[in-house]
Amino acid sequence: MRYADIVLPVPLPKLFTYEVPNEYHGTLAAGQRVVVSFGKKKLLSGIIFSLHNNKPEAYETKPIISILDDKPIVTLSQLKVWEWMADYYQCTLGEVYKAALPSGLKLESETRIFYNDEFEAETEMPEKTQQILDFLAAKKYSTISEINQFSGLKSCHHIIKQLIELDAVVVNEQLKGSWRPKTEVFLSLHNNVRNENSLRDAFDSLSRAPKQLEVLMLFLQSTGGVSEAMTGKEVLKKELASKAVNSSTAINELIKKEMLVQVKRNVDRLLTSKIENVQKVKTLSPEQDSALQETLKGFDENLPVLLHGVTSSGKTEIYIHLIDQAIKKGQQALYLLPEIALTTQITNRLKAHFGEKLGIYHSKFSDDQRVEVYNNLLNNKSYRVILGVRSSVFLPFSNLGLIIIDEEHENSFKQFDPAPRYHARDVALVLGQGFKSSVLLGTATPSIESYYNVQNNKYRLVELTTRFEGMMMPEIIVVNTREAQRKKMMQSHFSPQLLEHISEALSNKQQVILFQNRRGFAPFMECMSCGWIPKCKHCDVSLTYHKHIHQLICHYCGYSSNVHATCQACESPTLNLKGFGTQKIEEEIGQIFPDASIARMDYDTTRSRKGYENIISGFEQGEYNILVGTQMVTKGLDFDRVSLVGILNADQMLNHPDFRAFEKSFQMMAQVSGRAGRKHKRGTVIIQTSDPEHPVIAKVRSNNYAAFYQEQIEEREQFNYPPFYRIIHLTIKHKNQNVTNQAANYLAGLLRSVFGSRILGPQVPPVNRIQDHHLQRIMIKYERKASPSQVKKLIRDCINQTLANERWKYVQIVNDVDPL
Ligand code: ADP
Ligand code: ZN
Ligand code: ZN
């Protein structure tokens, strides 16, 4: 094997062939990381994809510079999934590689500027240049950003260039990896004092050093007693130090006197306290048990199972049984959840059963922690079950027996940006095929696609129709806001019925959830004289008013602007806030119920690491009476005291211009209703709408998923939408609007010559300018029975032909397969 094809983190659609130096012959394998030089000076770390003897004809190969691992860190089954993803989602292996590994495992190159020791200045230098040179001389080497920071310059490039010409510095690419093992310092009793006599002598010698004496006593206590200490038991240094004020000097003295010794050890960042009594799995109710048996039957037929169970029916208990069985068979399990549903609630529930066997993979984890989860699985250490978000489909499993995709209908399983724009549910199914794993999709509101697979016998359906212990489904009241408005009975955004129920719930010490699927205070401002609306400078969207910071903010790019006092078009001082978001609801409900304590949960309040969990645990513990929130409040939360859920504006969801709007509205309304009345008594849901007869609302009210599905599937068939047709979006982007339009028209023309009427557009997307780039979109709709890889190859050819045109060289074409 003299050549290696290597995956590099660059957006070029190919593998790169390098030569294997003689000394590495026979020792390399696919999945190992190597360092190679790329371009003129750049060093990159990449993954060996395959090894072979075929000398490339077109170019001279460069040798691999070094090998970073003794054994592969990416398994063959992972590489297979990567390959499938690159092909299916039309991205490069390099892009998959970037998404798949935590950054700590992807060494990145950085430019280092080295001081030349032999340099002697011949002429005097400008002051700033001399300062930078002295800085480099002292440090030996540094980076551009460090030098900028040191010098206070915006850019030091011109100075570095001069220094290079003078031979004062040498520039080199170096690799840096961010992951380092974490170390802690441990203390134990020194060998010299590990017998009673010498220990007593030691105590005597400390009679005039009371602090040291105190610390030594504390140390012995911490080990659990003298005899434990004699065996060499270790104590964490910082823990001992925390037990007495100002103890560090005393500790160091004891070390100097050879009474204590310290050692540094690598520790696990995710080390959790041992759980002594793991909880046994709960006994299932007869209905749950028969659902479990049917699920196992589906697995025996090698079919994925769709578990359609109403909220609180015990789906999670069934998952726990299945995981338990998989572990007992020596297999691994993956439990996938959308980011937002991965709360302490579910983590604690699984931890109680699986203790140290449970690994968690989460975007709120630091990269170092993610590397440790990755390595734990790779080296087959403690983890048997992974509870994780979409990126956990990239982990190095070796014996994956079970995959659970909970809340399978959730859109957040799909990655929007950057590539790979993958759907974790679909990748998980492919992952499952590779391992021949059993796959379970669970939800109270199945996606149309998954239910269609049931109808076509691709999945087996298992149903749970009642809540655990006969808890009742909530009573759903639909309130006609148009009528209430006409009778002038609305109090700001609340109908009299909703206010009455809130006040009743509050006086019964029950909790209330108010759902408004829009954040901010008001979605836009408008001039009452001329209709002018403040828009983002960089995007074609109106700015949302955020009251607490009194700013207008773009929800697409984050641009913010002061609030204008007068209209920028007609100068009249008649700017008004229109519409309403969570902040406004929070403020208004606070004015109506001044004694109620209110929490708000949306993107703005949950950005910090702990924000989300604090709100949830605060609400759980009854610190708040009312929780106002966006769709975040609809996800898999389990609250005991919520008796009322109010949906403030159902029309907003239903009127969204998208063929999935009804599906999403049904799911959101049904999910948020599921939060009402979970444990003790029947809850109430109030839906405010101007269209109470709307067919989707009728189905939510009667909790009739099957009828809802039937209506939807007929519509999808009639209008050639998924699951009957597959969709690909091509988005064309460029800073110049004409260039965008011309390239889009050209590409659409090429595509039409191949696909005919399956091509729609180009059309400006709903938001047609984002971050100063003008957008056009082409939609390709093709029959389900067509071969996806054939179709995609034809599309690729058309894209390449477009980009080959000199005028459109810098046009970006973004490929979104199965867009949501
Ligand atoms: P789902 O996942 O369908 O929403 P859960 O599994 O969360 O439902 O069940 C709802 C509540 O009922 C949870 O608090 C759960 O612990 C409890 N529960 C469900 N099934 C059982 C059972 N067989 N034994 C004891 N408690 C159960
Ligand atoms: Zn913007
Ligand atoms: Zn105006």
- The annotation status of 527 as a binding-site residue, yes or no, is yes
**How far is the CA of 163 from the CAs of 111, 128, 151, 152, 668, in angstroms?**
15, 12, 15, 18, 62
Identify which of 317, 318, 640, 680 to mutate to test ligand 1's pocket (most ligand atoms within 8 A of the CB): 317
pLDDT: is 43 or 486 the higher one? Answer: 486
Kindly give the residue spans of alpha helices, DSSP state H, lying in 23-126.
Answer: 76-88, 93-100
| CA-closest residue to ligand 1 atom 23 | 284
Kindly give the residue spans of alpha helices, DSSP state H, lying in 759-818.
Answer: 788-803
Q: For residue 460, what pLDDT is reported?
A: 97
Task: Tokens for 608, please give them.
Answer: 């910090």
Query: Where do we find the tokens 């700017």?
Result: 575
- List of long-range contacts for 791-798, beta carbons under 8 Å, 24+ apart: 791/728, 792/87, 792/88, 792/90, 792/728, 792/817, 794/754, 794/755, 795/90, 795/728, 795/730, 795/751, 796/90, 798/747, 798/750, 798/751, 798/754
Choice among 165-179, 358-372, 422-436 with the minimum mean pLDDT: 165-179
Kindly give the residue spans of alpha helices, DSSP state H, lying in 401-495.
Answer: 424-435, 448-455, 481-486
> Residue 570 C-alpha to ligand 3 middle, in angstroms?
4
Q: Give 56's pLDDT tier (boundaries 50, 70, 90).
A: confident
Does 775 score more than 60 pLDDT? yes
Per residue in 635-659, pLDDT (tens digit) is 757 788 889 999 998 988 888 778 8
Q: What share of the chain is helix, strand, coil (3-state, %, to 5)?
A: 40, 25, 40
Task: Tokens for 432, please give them.
Answer: 């499952």
> Residue 575 C-alpha to ligand 1 middle, in angstroms?
51
- The annotation status of 798 as a binding-site residue, yes or no, is no
Percent of the chain with pLDDT over 90: 51
CA 748 – CA 815 distance, rounded (Å): 14
Task: Tokens for 559, please give them.
Answer: 């641009």
Give Cα 163 distance to the centre of its chain: 44
Does 173 score more than 80 pLDDT? no
Looking at ligand 1, which atom is closest to the CA of residue 349? Answer: 16
- Ligand 1 pocket (Cβ < 6 Å) reads 282-285, 288, 309, 311-317, 468, 638
- CATH superfamily, domain at 3-108: PriA, 3(prime) DNA-binding domain (3.40.1440.60)
Q: For residue 72, what pLDDT is reported?
A: 94
Q: For residue 813, what pLDDT is reported?
A: 94
CA 79 – CA 30 distance, rounded (Å): 9
What value does the mean pLDDT take over residues 384-412?
A: 96
> Residue 542 C-alpha to ligand 2 middle, in angstroms?
9
Which residues of the chain does CATH 3.40.50.300 include? 286-462, 475-519+582-714
Q: For residue 272, what pLDDT is reported?
A: 57
Classify residue 178 as exposed, middle or buried by CB count within 10 Å of its CB (0-12, 13-18, 19+). middle
The torsion angles phi and psi of 232, rounded to 5 degrees, stand at: 95, 15
* Phi/psi-derived region of residue 232, left when phi > 0, alpha when psi is between -120 and 50, beta in every other case: left
The ipTM is: 0.95
Contacts of 369 (CB under 8 A, 6+ apart): 269, 270
Domain 109-176, CATH class in plain words: mainly alpha
CA 785 – CA 783 distance, rounded (Å): 5
CA 819 – CA 660 distance, rounded (Å): 11
| CA-closest residue to ligand 1 atom 5 | 314
> Residue 262 C-alpha to ligand 2 middle, in angstroms?
55
Assess contact for 697 and 691: CB atoms under 8 A. yes
Looking at ligand 1, which atom is closest to the CA of residue 309? Answer: 3
Does 577 score more than 90 pLDDT? no
Nearest Cα neighbor of 13 from 412, 420, 315 is 420
Per residue in 262-298, pLDDT (tens digit) is 998 877 777 655 566 678 889 999 999 999 999 999 9
- The annotation status of 536 as a binding-site residue, yes or no, is yes
Task: Tokens for 339, please give them.
Answer: 């980011």
> Residue 748 C-alpha to ligand 2 middle, in angstroms?
27
Strand order in the sheet with 305-309: 358-361, 385-388, 332-336, 400-406, 438-443, 305-309, 460-464
Q: Residue 8 gets which letter from DSSP?
A: -
Q: For residue 174, what pLDDT is reported?
A: 67
Nearest Cα neighbor of 346 from 387, 376, 392, 301 is 387
Choice among 247-256, 614-623, 761-770 with the minimum mean pLDDT: 761-770
Q: Please name the fold of domain 725-817.
A: Alpha-Beta Plaits (3.30.70)
pLDDT: is 555 or 126 the higher one? Answer: 126
CA 547 – CA 704 distance, rounded (Å): 40
Nearest ligand to the CA of 544 is 2
Output the CATH code of domain 475-519+582-714. 3.40.50.300
DSSP characters over 732-769: EEESSHHHHHHHHHHHHHHHHHHHGGGEEEEE--SS-E
Q: For residue 366, what pLDDT is reported?
A: 81
Antiparallel, parallel or unpaired: β 725-734 and 812-817:
antiparallel
Question: Taking CA 382 as the corner, what is the angle to CA 381 and CA 386, rounded to the nearest 5 degrees?
Answer: 110
Looking at ligand 1, which atom is closest to the CA of residue 311? Answer: 4
Classify residue 656 as exposed, middle or buried by CB count within 10 Å of its CB (0-12, 13-18, 19+). middle
Q: For residue 495, what pLDDT is reported?
A: 94
What is residue 595's three-state secondary structure?
coil
Assess contact for 683 and 644: CB atoms under 8 A. yes
Q: For residue 803, what pLDDT is reported?
A: 93
Looking at ligand 1, which atom is closest to the CA of residue 282? Answer: 24
Nearest ligand to the CA of 309 is 1
Q: For residue 536, what pLDDT is reported?
A: 83
| CA-closest residue to ligand 1 atom 18 | 314
Question: Taking CA 297 as the corner, what is the angle to CA 294 and CA 298, rounded to the nearest 5 degrees?
Answer: 90
Which residues of the chain does CATH 3.40.1440.60 include? 3-108
Nearest ligand to the CA of 640 is 1
Per residue in 698-746, pLDDT (tens digit) is 999 998 999 999 999 999 999 889 999 999 999 999 999 999 999 999 9
| CA-closest residue to ligand 1 atom 25 | 282
| CA-closest residue to ligand 1 atom 11 | 312
Q: Give 694's pLDDT tier (boundaries 50, 70, 90).
A: very high
> Residue 648 C-alpha to ligand 1 middle, in angstroms?
29
Does 521 score more than 80 pLDDT? no
Q: For residue 518, what pLDDT is reported?
A: 82
Classify residue 106 as exposed, middle or buried by CB count within 10 Å of its CB (0-12, 13-18, 19+). buried
Which residues of the chain does CATH 1.10.10 include? 109-176
Answer yes or no: CATH 3.40.50.2300 is held by domain 286-462. no
Per residue in 583-607, pLDDT (tens digit) is 888 999 999 999 999 999 888 887 7
Nearest ligand to the CA of 534 is 3
CA 652 – CA 163 distance, rounded (Å): 61
Strand order in the sheet with 108-115: 141-143, 108-115, 169-176
- The annotation status of 91 as a binding-site residue, yes or no, is no
CA 398 – CA 521 distance, rounded (Å): 49
What value does the mean pLDDT take over residues 52-58?
A: 88
> Residue 670 C-alpha to ligand 1 middle, in angstroms?
18
Q: State the DSSP H helix or E strand holding residue 527, giving kind and residue range, or none if neither.
A: strand 524-527
> Residue 426 C-alpha to ligand 2 middle, in angstroms?
31
DSSP characters over 297-348: HHHHTT--EEEEE-TTSSHHHHHHHHHHHHHHTT-EEEEE--GGG--HHHHH
Nearest ligand to the CA of 526 is 3
Nearest Cα neighbor of 584 from 627, 520, 646 is 520
Averaged confidence pLDDT in the chain: 89
CA 677 – CA 675 distance, rounded (Å): 7
Q: What residues form DSSP beta bridges with 236?
A: 186
Q: How many Cα neighbours within 13 Å face the side chain of 153?
A: 16
Q: Give 137's pLDDT tier (boundaries 50, 70, 90).
A: confident
Q: Residue 578 gets which letter from DSSP?
A: E
Nearest Cα neighbor of 619 from 682, 683, 675 is 675
- The annotation status of 554 as a binding-site residue, yes or no, is yes
Looking at ligand 1, which atom is closest to the CA of residue 674? Answer: 4
Cis peptide bond prior to 594, omega within 30° of 0:
no
Q: Give 42's pLDDT tier (boundaries 50, 70, 90).
A: confident
CA 243 – CA 235 distance, rounded (Å): 12
Assess contact for 197 and 204: CB atoms under 8 A. no
What value does the mean pLDDT take over residues 654-665?
A: 86
Expressed in angstroms, the distance from the first to the final Cα of the chain is: 44
Identify which of 281, 312, 337 to mutate to test ligand 1's pocket (most ligand atoms within 8 A of the CB): 312
Cis peptide bond prior to 338, omega within 30° of 0:
no
Q: For residue 679, what pLDDT is reported?
A: 61
Q: What residues form DSSP beta bridges with 578?
A: 524
| CA-closest residue to ligand 1 atom 10 | 312
CA 27 – CA 39 distance, rounded (Å): 26
CA 214 – CA 192 distance, rounded (Å): 19
Q: Residue 559 gets which letter from DSSP?
A: -
Q: Give 156's pLDDT tier (boundaries 50, 70, 90).
A: confident
Assess contact for 407 and 355: CB atoms under 8 A. no
Identify which of 353, 468, 469, 672 to mutate to test ligand 1's pocket (most ligand atoms within 8 A of the CB): 468
Global pTM value: 0.84
Task: Tokens for 106, please give them.
Answer: 């992807």
What value does the mean pLDDT take over residues 410-422?
A: 92
CA 399 – CA 439 distance, rounded (Å): 14
Identify which of 316, 465, 469, 680 to mutate to test ligand 1's pocket (most ligand atoms within 8 A of the CB): 316
Nearest ligand to the CA of 540 is 2
> Residue 533 C-alpha to ligand 2 middle, in angstroms?
14
Question: Taking CA 214 as the corner, what is the angle to CA 212 and CA 216, rounded to the nearest 5 degrees?
Answer: 70
